[in-house]
Amino acid sequence: MSVHVENLTRYAPASQRKLLDDITLTFPTGAFVALVGPSGAGKTTLLRAIAGLDQCEEGTLTLNGNSLKTLQDRAGKIGFVFQNYALFPHMTVARNISFGLDVLPRGKRPSPTEIANRVKELLELMQIPALAEAYPARLSGGQRQRVALARALATGPTLLLLDEPFGALDPIVRRTIRTWLRTLHDQLGLTTILVTHDQEEALEVADRIVVMQNGRVVQDASPTDLDEKPQTSFVMEFLGEAVTFKGQVKNGYFVPDEAHVASFPTHISEGRADAMIRPFEIMLQDEGEAAVPLATHGKSNGYRHYSATLAGRAVPVFVPETSGGAHIKTGCAHLNIQNARIFRNGTRAN
Ligand SMILES: Nc1ncnc2c1ncn2[C@@H]1O[C@H](COP(=O)(O)OP(=O)(O)OP(=O)(O)O)[C@@H](O)[C@H]1O
pLDDT digits (tens, 9 = 90+) for 35-78: 999 999 999 999 999 988 888 889 999 888 887 766 566 667 88
Secondary structure (DSSP) of 254-312: EEESSTTB--EE--SPSEEEEEEE-GGG-EEE--SSS-EEEEEEEEETTEEEEEEE-SS
Instruction: Look at strands 208-213 and 32-36 and give their pairing.
Output: parallel
* pLDDT, position 7: 96
Q: What is the DSSP string of 270-286?
A: SEEEEEEE-GGG-EEE-
CA dist 5 and 286 (Å) reads 53
**Structure confidence by residue, pLDDT tens digits, 192-219:** 999 998 888 899 999 999 999 999 999 9
Residue type, 228: E
Coil, strand, or helix at residue 219? Answer: strand
Walk me through the domains of the chain, giving residue ranges and CATH numbers. Answer: 3-237 (3.40.50.300), 241-348 (no CATH)
222, 204 contact by CB (below 8 A) = no
Over range 258-264, report the average pLDDT.
Answer: 93
Going by alpha carbons, the residue nearest to atom 30 of ligand 1 is 40
Q: Measured in angstroms, how far is the CA atom of residue 21 from the centroid of ligand 1?
A: 13
* pLDDT in the model for residue 66: 80
Q: What separation in Å is there between the alpha carbon of 337 and the centre of ligand 1?
A: 38
Predicted model pTM: 0.86
C-alpha 44 – ligand 1 centre gap (Å):
7
Alpha carbon distance 33, 23 (integer Å)? 15
Q: What does the pLDDT read at residue 51?
A: 87
Q: 318 versus 168: which is more confidently predicted?
A: 318
Confidence at 287, pLDDT banded by 50, 70, 90: low
pLDDT at 125: 81
Q: What is the pLDDT of residue 263?
A: 95
Q: Which amino acid is at 230?
A: P
Which residues lie with the beta carbon below 6 Å from any ligand 1 atom?
12-13, 19, 37, 39-45, 197
Please provide the size of the chain in residues.
350
* C-alpha 286 to ligand 1 mean position (Å): 50
Mutate to test the pocket of ligand 1, among 8, 18, 23, 43 (most ligand atoms within 8 A of CB): 43
Q: Is the pLDDT of residue 6 over 90?
A: yes
**Which residues pair with residue 254 across a beta bridge?**
249, 264
Q: Say what the pLDDT of residue 296 is.
A: 84
**Of 193, 199, 210, 171, which Cα lies nearest the Cα of 81?**
193
